Chain A
Amino acid sequence: MLPIAFEDATKAIQAFLLSGKEYVCLMQLHGEIPEKRVSEVFQEFTGKILQKPPLRASVKRAVRERMIYAIDLLEIEERSVLFRIACQAGTYVRKICSDIGEVLGCGAHMKELRRTRAGPFQEERNLCSMYDLLDAQNQWKEEKDEQKLRAFVRPVEEAFEFIPKIHIRDSAVDAICHGADLAIPGVVELDRAIETATPIVVMSMKGEAVALAKALLPTQQVLEQDRGLAAKTIRVIMPPSTYPPLWKES
């Protein structure tokens, strides 16, 4: 499962990196442990955990909190443990395996890892193969039929399925496309669960992605206030002049 973004959609990739993930992992225990005990320890690792990124990571190596949404034991055979884990972006499954091994007492290491989900992108959903893409492209180029291409190539907005959104007026769009922060008067509709610093997507009323942003206020305050800034623009996705520059007037 490899999500690939085209042209301007590549600007969305950083939001993608922040999305929750799911993996199937094969862990090798260094001793024999009863299934019941393994399940117990999996329970202990569900919820908030602390992790320090490994030497090879490109992030600052400070201990940080990560959220493990679920760990499900799939199969256990002697010292091999197959499990599924759903976790916050930036969680090191390799480290979880070695930490689980420590808690179990015998030690353990990650043997194999497969990512089965990244935000809205899943393995189970109909993936597009290279052949599908070639076929779709040919159908468009040679027969002027766009249907397959539109079926396989998804709008970048689908990458934001689980990210809180703020929808803005047409007149506010172009300013954001120039990098301006989002002012409260431009807000039409917003997700109920936004808090300060929540990563969000600013969208037009048609549902087009305008920019990736970070909330400066919780939803309630944006609803109550008439002025001030609602969000800080982080990455503009929509090109300027898609919507007219009405902000230049007055």
Chain B
Amino acid sequence: MKEFPPWGITRETVVKIDADTSAGLGYNPYARPIDLHMRFGMVNLDKPAGPSSHEVVAWVKLMLDLKHAGHGGTLDA
């Protein structure tokens, strides 16, 4: 019994109540000021072949002056 992968399913939503969001609170994720954009940011990196994922993340942290960074694993199976 075949199932579709998550990227093969069209998701639909249903609205329960009519509500507005206040313009002065929070941000549209694509309109964050750059410091917040980086704070909630992620990249899909073309990892160079030699170094480990851990090393690469360390470099990215240095390069972008980040306190924390984590990767989603190269092979988790």
Asked whether A47 lies within 8 Å of B39 as measured between CB atoms, the reply is: no
Q: Is the interface of B mostly helix, strand, loop or mixed?
A: loop
Asked whether B74 lies within 8 Å of A140 as measured between CB atoms, the reply is: no
Asked whether A6 lies within 8 Å of B42 as measured between CB atoms, the reply is: yes
Asked whether B47 lies within 8 Å of A190 as measured between CB atoms, the reply is: no
- Is A83 in the interface zone, CB < 8 Å from B? no
Complex: how many Å from CA A161 to CA B29?
A: 13
Binary interface encoding of chain B residues 1-30 relative to chain A, with 1 for a CB under 8 A from any of its CBs, else 0: 111111111011111110111100111111
Nearest-Cβ distance from residue B46 to partner chain A, whole angstroms: 4
Q: Is the interface of A mostly helix, strand, loop or mixed?
A: mixed
Q: By the criterion of a CB under 8 Å from any partner CB, how many residues of chain B are at the interface?
A: 59
Contact A9 B41, CB 8 Å, known A118-B72, A119-B6, A206-B26: yes
Chain A residues near B (Cβ < 8 Å): 1-10, 12-13, 16-17, 19-23, 46-48, 67, 69-70, 86-87, 89-94, 113, 115, 117-122, 125, 127-130, 133-134, 137, 140, 146, 149-150, 152-159, 161-165, 167, 169-170, 173, 187-193, 204-209, 219, 222-223, 237-238, 242-244
Contact A189 B45, CB 8 Å, known A7-B67, A69-B4: no
- Residues of A with C-beta under 8 A to B38: 6-7, 149, 153
Asked whether A21 lies within 8 Å of B47 as measured between CB atoms, the reply is: no
- 21 A-B pairs whose Cβ atoms sit less than 8 Å apart in the complex: A2-B53, A3-B71, A4-B72, A7-B40, A9-B41, A128-B44, A133-B45, A133-B64, A154-B41, A162-B7, A167-B13, A189-B13, A189-B15, A191-B13, A204-B21, A205-B19, A205-B21, A208-B26, A208-B29, A243-B25, A244-B25
